[in-house]
Structure 1
């Protein structure tokens, strides 16, 4: 697809099918039905009765377990995949080969190699492939992206994210693959295009004998020399969802669980005189100065992130451009997750990341 060229496309609602009526599928169903940019035509699930319950008794949307029939429907322009990660490759690949645009729940695929197959297929066919990195469409994360990319915070020195709560302990994946995709997708979204992670080290523990890490810490080294840290935990008695982005000028704190002040920007920090600005004798005793300025809590909108996400999907399809969280964004997250898993296996060894996604 020529992403640099916008073409006139129909403004008729896009026909969409949702695959998966489990945890996330109903949320997609609700938002597609509420959007005037889409017409929901099918909800596909192996458990047809569950799909019918999701749709309700008065819905005209077809509940079905026949995925090939869904793909054969010429009125279906796009498919949204909300199934376990291990099934994403087969379901999404079939949709792309049927000429459908595809939205995939995080993570993009179970492995980087599978994700690359999807990205390549979509690009070769000129189709939109989008990752449902929902947090990237919240007003708060949009404000963080603006603050980082505009230079409001200055050069980024560190990012510190915490996502901890009690459960839910998963059977098939560790806490890294369960929770960290949220924070890694946010990091990928907010950083300027010239700033990227180049290596990761991960440490984890399984104190309850679940068979995989229930507590984990990731440290990412950025190409600027800055670091980003992510803490994920299934065993915390308290729920915490915070991200701090520290810059040379200001520091931003996002507390997702504080509805009264989700985002705060602090004009506080540490300054160190440059060696070029002081004399030779003074260099031995460089003075550290501490700034203690104001805190500003910017007003944020209240639009539902999923609504913004489905609208971005529609706009990307119609305008023939890459969505904000495209397949390659999903690939970058998968790259970090796989490298972090290798680091865990080798007791926290630093693992380099791929370049040029």
Structure 2
């Protein structure tokens, strides 16, 4: 069944959504809505069957509209999404899901009450490489996860309304949520940041997140680096996976290398245990082949499939909430000079429950 969608917001991200909805066999693009009619018309181009709209209220009165995709600033997401859901439209929202967990929870609850799909556009989760990483982790090939180390740095745009953690870390957090069994549910969050250029907000940030099984996750984000690095390392008890997003010849590598602890040789003496019980495994490496496929194309297809099949999408409202849990805890920690801020019991319960529903 072909669905009809309107894109709300014709700024930075909106044109990318427009292009992918127009190129999808699952969708028919009905309209582009923006307060700036000229900007919306520029995005529409010569497509005469796509309407230009400047009023959200008028747009949502259309009976032929199944869904809306929101590509506006985060502080507007809740109001637009609630209005769309109340008009019985399915909703796709650019990351982050909202500017606060409270706002996002209202959106999730309303979508559930009305039986509508609420999806967060965590684009990286739909890349072939992240989907392959998820399969590798789920297969048990890496063994028990011991650590995740993610780096996302570049000479980027200093945002006027959010710090570097809210700007860049949602990518890394959403990827971790997609690939970790049970989703992203850290015990707590410790955040450190710096503003060496006097921008009024952190331009360099570090997140440390202990995980429930004794593992740890770390995220480094930076607007000020003269070099661009996008890497993630996931270390397990059996193998370690390295993702280098800027290496098209070998984006993904899996290493049979690591540290083994001989349980039989353990003693009560730390020095003896260290000397006798640790060995280093130096095995092979392989680089899985990956298809070339645009992530946004897969994302809009997943949105349509979730609507047509009456199921939660891969990156549903719960995924958006789990990312916001970490971002809000990071903000609290940053203000308290790196204090470890626990993730609430309710947030962890929501994470495990909603992630389980997605996997059913």
Q: TM-score range by the shorter chain?
A: over 0.9
Question: Higher helix share goes to which structure?
Answer: 2
Larger mean CA deviation between 201-210 and 187-196 belongs to: 187-196
Q: Residue 248 of structure 2 aligns to a residue in which SS?
A: coil
CA distance in 2, matches of 1:339, 1:49: 40
Pick 1 or 2: higher relative contact order, CA cutoff 8 A, min separation 6: 1
Q: 1:345 aligns with which of 326, 329, 335?
A: 335
User: Are residue 288 (structure 1) and residue 281 (structure 2) matched?
Assistant: no
**Structure 1 pair 295–130 and aligned structure 2 pair: CA distance change class (3 A):** same
Q: 1:101 aligns with which of 70, 75, 90?
A: 90
Stretches of structure 2 lacking an aligned partner (at least 5 in a row): 351-360
Q: 1:239 aligns with which of 196, 220, 228?
A: 228
Partner of 1:125: 114
Stretches of structure 1 lacking an aligned partner (at least 5 in a row): 1-10
State the 1:43 CA deviation. Answer: 0.2
8 A Cα contact 1:195 1:223, kept in partner: no
**Structure 1 pair 289–39 and aligned structure 2 pair: CA distance change class (3 A):** same
**Structure 1 pair 349–284 and aligned structure 2 pair: CA distance change class (3 A):** closer
CA distance in 2, matches of 1:91, 1:124: 17
CA distance in 1, matches of 2:58, 2:314: 30
CA distance in 1, matches of 2:148, 2:325: 19
Map 1:1-357 onto structure 2 (within 5 A). 11=1, 13-193=2-182, 196-274=185-263, 276=264, 283=273, 285-354=275-344, 355-357=348-350
State the 1:29 CA deviation. Answer: 0.2
**CA shift digits 1:3-62 (9 cap, x unpaired):** xxxxxxxx2x10101000000000000000000111110100000100111111343200
**CA shift digits 1:257-313 (9 cap, x unpaired):** 111000000010011100x45688965742321111111000001110000000000
CA distance in 1, matches of 2:81, 2:205: 30
Count of residue pairs the alignment pairs up = 345
CA distance in 2, matches of 1:284, 1:337: 38
**CA shift digits 1:141-195 (9 cap, x unpaired):** 0111111111110000000000000021001100000000000000111000177
CA distance in 1, matches of 2:268, 2:174: 45
TM-score (norm 1): 0.94
